[in-house]
Amino acid sequence: MKVEAEAYTLLLASILLLISGVRVHAISYDHSVTTECLVEPQRAQYEGGIIVNPGFDQSLRGWTVNGKGVIEVRISKEGNRFVVARNRTHPLDSFSQRIQLEKGKRYAFSAWVQLGEETGTVSVVIRTNRSELVRGGHVIAQHGCWTLLKGGIVANFSSSVEILFESQNTEVELWVDSVSLQPFTKSQWRSHQDCNIERIRKSKVRFQIVHTNGTALEGTTVLINQIRSGFPFGCSINHNILTSKDYQTWFASRFQYTTFTNEMKWYSTEIKQGEENYSIADAMLEFTKQHNIAVRGHNIFWDNPKEQPQWVKSLSSEELQKAAEKRLNSVVSRYKGQLIAWDVVNENLHFSFFEDKLGQNASAEYYSKAYKLDQKPIMFMNEYNAIEYSGDKAVIPEKYKKKLEGILSYPGSEGISVGIGLQGHFVSGQPNLAFMRSVLDSLATTKLPIWLTEVSVDKGPNQEEYLEEILREAYAHPAVEGIITFSGPAIAGFKDMHLVDENFRNTPVGDVVDKLLNEWKSGSVQAKTDSRGFVDVSLFHGDYDVTVTHPVTKSSTTLNHSVKKHTPQKIVRVHV
Ligand SMILES: *[C@@H]1O[C@H](CO)[C@@H](O)[C@H](O)[C@H]1NC(C)=O
Ligand SMILES: *[C@@H]1O[C@H](CO)[C@@H](O)[C@H](O)[C@H]1NC(C)=O
Ligand SMILES: *[C@@H]1O[C@H](CO)[C@@H](O)[C@H](O)[C@H]1NC(C)=O
Ligand SMILES: *[C@@H]1O[C@H](CO)[C@@H](O)[C@H](O)[C@H]1NC(C)=O
Ligand SMILES: *[C@@H]1O[C@H](CO)[C@@H](O)[C@H](O)[C@H]1NC(C)=O
Ligand SMILES: *[C@@H]1O[C@H](CO)[C@@H](O)[C@H](O)[C@H]1NC(C)=O
């Protein structure tokens, strides 16, 4: 999959803010990413931001050598200047620039990189004055053309730090150009999210109310009431829901999307070989059907060797192949047509249990087979650390895309719908939203649906604040099509996040989820028509009922209306 250059909405157009009479020039975040490898690098984003001499046009001004290598500026045939580190002996031997970070700011990073030979991962690294190394983003760089490395950091302290580069292969030269680090305040970041939400999650709708004889009716009351959200923002459930009426009521009154945490997994449904028991998963599915709740299937297989049914661990390759085939046929056929998604081979970037025993195409083959049995669900990959931890190179966007490419191009998989699952299990510290956004930007070039599938934040002093930041970041990204949190009531036993306590009273984290559920729907909107019979409203995507009451006769009419993404605005005419 050679993904084309992505050019969606260059939001570079600057926003002019009027603050105390002075026009302040605020730069909006640039989502643009290209996965093309270019002969010449593009100019630095944001003209380099706070980086001094970002394009090396003033030789090495602002830059110093890091480690034992030699650094120099070279000029391409076309006359472009860039920096080179050679005679490297350590992965961090490169060039560095000292910059000042300010606590609370989010920093968007980008640079164009190339290797003197071969192909390899290049990372941007931030070194604090205590010599702590924080990775800010990774890309697979090539030789012979320039690749865009995007990333970022969120400063949880004010300090002077060094920004430098890392490449494991010390045999090769490291080339860099057009380096950029653009700071955003917390409120700029938030206002960018809010703008995006308005743009991507809502549509402007115009209703016109006319008398049956064709006359527009002025002063007519129109009541618009959202009955279903168009954006899947759900929550996991587990088997405890079967035995608690309170859990059921609490859940069904909030959520319309879910994932069963463990109950569909192989180790739950076939504890002893040959003795399948789906009674719990079946009962949970029955509950979701009764309440019109959509379910993501989780999961058919899990590539982690530790997460197999006990008896599976000791099977020979041939036995495993037979048992796995049976498992796949059994669970996919059983729930055919009833699920919106399947996590087919969970965590197949971090682990390779099936690939190791059955061959490198094992995952791709299972995606293909699952698709042949049931064409309804989107077939997902599902990984941790991709957005939550910038230090994990196993799940960098290029590796994710390469695995997807193998699944999409596997013989017999033509027409398969594939999705990008990002678990989103965050630890208790400040989440790196700038890194998270750069990863989403990069994965968005696939044009495949991205879901956050298991969002949680470990317990800590700012748990609810961090959860809110993460959820907003996901909801504001144009490529994200759904979010499921892995949490529930205290009685369900989720260890990190409870939304309600033992008495079903909201925890602070539960307040955040309820607040966002409420904020991301239009609720009830009441308006009166103007002289042309028009009512103009901006509505969140979803299903509505619209009640129109005649100004004189008081007779009313109700109709259903869906507001969908990508549907052009047209006038909804209501005759009364
Ligand atoms: C800042 O974040 C880093 C990495 O996330 C962490 O190791 C460090 O302890 C944090 N420092 C403060 C002062 O919170
Ligand atoms: C870095 O050094 C400055 C003084 O040079 C100090 O005030 C600051 O606390 C240090 N930051 C960290 C994270 O150690
Ligand atoms: C249509 O009906 C309304 C209400 O009865 C009336 O006020 C209006 O004049 C009528 N218009 C036409 C074109 O007949
Ligand atoms: C299947 O599992 C359920 C729930 O654990 C249990 O009650 C039932 O006895 C099991 N059925 C069989 C045949 O083992
Ligand atoms: C894996 O699948 C590809 C086709 O997608 C094929 O060319 C290759 O030979 C397969 N490899 C193995 C080890 O089966
Ligand atoms: C509108 O939708 C509601 C809820 O989905 C449904 O009960 C009702 O019958 C629909 N009404 C019309 C007029 O289609």
H/E segment holding residue 247: helix 245-252
Task: In whole angstroms, give the CA distance from residue 285 to residue 259.
Answer: 10
List Cα–Cα distances, 45 to 36, 192, 410, in angstroms.
16, 17, 37
- Which atom of ligand 1 is the closest one to the Cα of 132? 7
| Closest CA to ligand 5's atom 4 | 410
Average pLDDT (75-90) is: 96
pLDDT of 7 higher than 50: no
- How confident is the model at residue 26, as a pLDDT? 62
Ligand 1 centroid to Cα of residue 18, in Å, is: 35
DSSP assignment of 326-337 equals HHHHHHHHHTTT
Residue type, 391: G
Ligand 6 pocket: which of 224, 291, 543, 545 to mutate (most atoms within 8 A of CB): 545
Question: Which protein residues are within 6 Å of ligand 5, measured from CB?
Answer: 359-361, 409-411
Which ligand gives the minimal distance to the CA of 551? 3
pLDDT of 543 higher than 90: yes
Task: In whole angstroms, give the CA distance from residue 513 to residue 524.
Answer: 20
For the stretch 327-357, pLDDT in tens is: 999 999 999 999 999 999 999 999 999 999 9
Task: In whole angstroms, give the CA distance from residue 467 to residue 469.
Answer: 5
Residue 47: Cβ within 10 Å count:
13
CB 516 within 8 A of CB 471: yes
- Which atom of ligand 4 is the closest one to the Cα of 280? 4
Q: Where residue 108 falls among pLDDT bands split at 50, 70, 90?
A: very high
Q: Where residue 31 falls among pLDDT bands split at 50, 70, 90?
A: confident
CB 232 within 8 A of CB 481: yes
Q: Where residue 556 falls among pLDDT bands split at 50, 70, 90?
A: confident
CB 349 within 8 A of CB 403: yes
For the stretch 147-162, pLDDT in tens is: 999 999 999 889 999 9
- Active-site residue 454, yes or no? yes
Listed residue (518, 573, 520) closest to 222, CA to CA = 573
CB 268 within 8 A of CB 235: no
Listed residue (267, 265, 264) closest to 311, CA to CA = 267
pLDDT of 246 higher than 50: yes
Average pLDDT (358-369) is: 97
Q: Tokens 């970037």 belong to which residue?
A: 349
pLDDT of 30 higher than 90: no
Instruction: Point out the catalytic residue in the list 270, 307, 454, 464.
Output: 454
94-101 vs 159-167, strand pairing mode: antiparallel
Handedness of CA 473, 476, 477, 483 (dihedral sign): positive
- How confident is the model at residue 34, as a pLDDT? 83
pLDDT of 439 higher than 70: yes
Name beta bridge partners: 146.
Answer: 38
Average pLDDT (49-73) is: 97
Mean pLDDT score of the chain: 92
Higher pLDDT, 564 or 284: 284
- Active-site residue 318, yes or no? no
Listed residue (190, 507, 249) closest to 485, CA to CA = 507
Residues spanned by CATH 3.20.20.80 within the chain?
232-243+291-519
Ligand 5 centroid to Cα of residue 361, in Å, is: 6
Q: Where residue 20 falls among pLDDT bands split at 50, 70, 90?
A: very low
For the stretch 169-221, pLDDT in tens is: 999 999 999 999 999 999 999 999 999 999 999 999 999 988 888 888 899 99
Ligand 1 centroid to Cα of residue 155, in Å, is: 9
534-540 vs 233-235, strand pairing mode: unpaired
Q: Cis check for the bond before 292: say yes or no (omega within 30 of 0).
A: no
Instruction: Point out the catalytic residue in the list 6, 347, 383, 388.
Output: 347
Average pLDDT (384-406) is: 96
Residue 289: Cβ within 10 Å count:
12
| Percent of the chain topping pLDDT 70 | 95
H/E segment holding residue 85: strand 81-86
Higher pLDDT, 146 or 1: 146
CB 364 within 8 A of CB 324: no
* CATH 3.20.20.80, domain 232-243+291-519, yes or no: yes
Higher pLDDT, 102 or 555: 102
Residues spanned by CATH 2.60.40.1120 within the chain?
203-226+528-575
Listed residue (496, 474, 493, 492) closest to 483, CA to CA = 474
- Any ligand 3 atom below 6 A from CB of 316: no
- How confident is the model at residue 4, as a pLDDT? 29
In the CATH scheme, what is the code of domain 203-226+528-575?
2.60.40.1120
Q: Name the CATH architecture for the domain at 13-192.
A: Sandwich (2.60)
Question: Angle at Cα 234 formed by Cα 231 and Cα 237, nearest 5°?
Answer: 160
pLDDT of 517 higher than 60: yes
